[in-house]
Amino acid sequence: MVKHPPEPYRIKMVEPIHLIDRAAREKALKSAGYNLFGLQAEEVYIDLLTDSGTGAMSQDQWAAIMRGDESYAGARSFQRFSKAITEIFGFEHFVPTHQGRAAENILCSMLVKPGQFVPSNMHFDTTQANILARGGRPTNLVIDEARDPANRHLFKGNMDIDKLRNFIDRVGKENVPLGMITITNNAGGGQPVSMENLKAVSALYKEYGIPFFIDACRFAENAYFIKQRETGFENQTPLEIARQFFSLADGATMSAKKDAIVNIGGFLAMNDENLFRKACNELILREGFPTYGGLAGRDLDAIAVGLWEGLDEEYLAYRLSQTSYLANSLLEHGIPVIEPPGGHAVYLNAGLFLSHIPSEQFPGQALSIEIYREGGIRAIELGSVSLSYPDPISGKMVYPDLELVRLALPRRVYTQSHLDYVIEAVARIAGRKSEIRGYGFEYAPELLRHFTARFKPL
């Protein structure tokens, strides 16, 4: 067995990338307001901002795009999309959406009323914002081990079942219009949820009559972690495992930009027919007719193929090993990361690495800026900039437990030598970390502020 499985593909088309010099990087940072979302693509050398919509499509997906049927209603592309979703996810109904947050928006518009609570292991930023936008209160009930970056619990995305029961009892089940779980848990390190935990969460929501929705963006990576780490699943395929966990839920939101390896797309799935009727009406209002829902026919075809490719075992073995190669190499250089490595990204523990910078001065933002400055590498802050928000009732700021910087790995895009470049750049920063200063806001919007905020060095 080789230590790290090589890429299970060879390169047929290339996209040139170029490193601009240090002075140009400094200028780019200033004009972006020290917000890496404000950089132009040509100013970035290795782009690890997100794994969402940034994957490389395969020859079969590009071929499928040419088959796209752009009929407004009942397109053949929709039939192929439906077949893949039915065979993999098994829900009775679904509507395509242009991406994951559109599915979240439709779901929240139908179910969440002001003052109500939506528990999850951890909501991702767009889910959190969609709940808040309806006056709801997102609540994170992940296990305590997830809050300790060095704890090597194998399923750090698990929900704390006791906390969930106590929470529902305290706020009243009538104030919980739906319950969710994110697989893998992006905001908490791309950590998986075990089948055992998914069963327990599902049983609890059923007991209280609360609809259970899975945020399924990275379902295939989660299924492969279950195969690797949970007793009894060693001999099952990721597909068999995925079908089992989806059978435990009442529905799912999906951003196809992750495990379906496409550049745009998503869907909202559910078993409840009344909810589906409402979803179709919302969809027509916001996205489009229920057989295309904000996408072109060719996008539906690319998803139909990509969903199967995302479940391929050889691909998943390589994918998760790429992440662990990056994480373990950084650890060897003394850079603290969330352990064990997650699925789609490596999360640097900026709070610990830059412990001289307090949360109000955004250590994660400071570290991500420094990584760009050093190597033209773009990462994202997942800490007090992107995940803190004012509680809708008390107005008090709610802060995340960890100050992180995420290095997300686009699917099938970068090779091991790109990762070696990243490792060397971050290791160089470690030698001068005490010189790094914090940042303050120059401008910040109310919701999802990390996308458009501007910062000033302190």
Ligand X SMILES: Cc1ncc(COP(=O)(O)O)c(C=O)c1O
Which residues bind to ligand X, rule: CB under 6 A? 52, 99-101, 124, 126-127, 182, 186, 215, 217, 255, 257, 266
In the bound state with ligand X, the residue whose beta carbon lies nearer, of 97 and 194, is 97
Q: Min. distance of Cβ 405 from ligand X in angstroms?
A: 16
What's the first-to-final CA gap in the chain, in angstroms? 50
In the bound state with ligand X, the residue whose beta carbon lies nearer, of 218 and 298, is 218
Both tokens assigned to 393? 């009732």
101-134 burial code (b ≥16 CB/10 A, e <16): bbbbbbbbbbbbeeebbbbbbbbbbbbbbbbbeb
Both tokens assigned to 447? 């919701």
Q: Which helix (H) or strand (E) holds 420?
A: helix 416-430
Cα–Cα distance between 169 and 123 in angstroms, integer? 21
Q: Min. distance of Cβ 371 from ligand X in angstroms?
A: 20
Q: Min. distance of Cβ 206 from ligand X in angstroms?
A: 23
Cα–Cα distance between 254 and 159 in angstroms, integer? 19
In the bound state with ligand X, the residue whose beta carbon lies nearer, of 116 and 127, is 127
Local structure of 255: helix, strand or coil: strand
Best CA proximity match to 67, nearest among 368, 297, 321: 297
Q: Min. distance of Cβ 162 from ligand X in angstroms?
A: 24
Q: Min. distance of Cβ 49 from ligand X in angstroms?
A: 10
In the bound state with ligand X, the residue whose beta carbon lies nearer, of 105 and 329, is 105
Q: What is the DSSP letter of 323?
A: H
Cα–Cα distance between 173 and 267 in angstroms, integer? 27
Query: Which are the contacts of 241, defined by CB distance < 8 A and separation ≥ 6?
Result: 195, 223, 226, 227, 233
Best CA proximity match to 154, nearest among 195, 122, 119: 195
Q: Min. distance of Cβ 408 from ligand X in angstroms?
A: 9
Tell me the residue number closest to ligand X, measured at CB: 100
Cα–Cα distance between 453 and 442 in angstroms, integer? 7
In the bound state with ligand X, the residue whose beta carbon lies nearer, of 110 and 408, is 408
Q: Min. distance of Cβ 265 from ligand X in angstroms?
A: 8
In the bound state with ligand X, the residue whose beta carbon lies nearer, of 93 and 257, is 257
In the bound state with ligand X, the residue whose beta carbon lies nearer, of 245 and 353, is 245
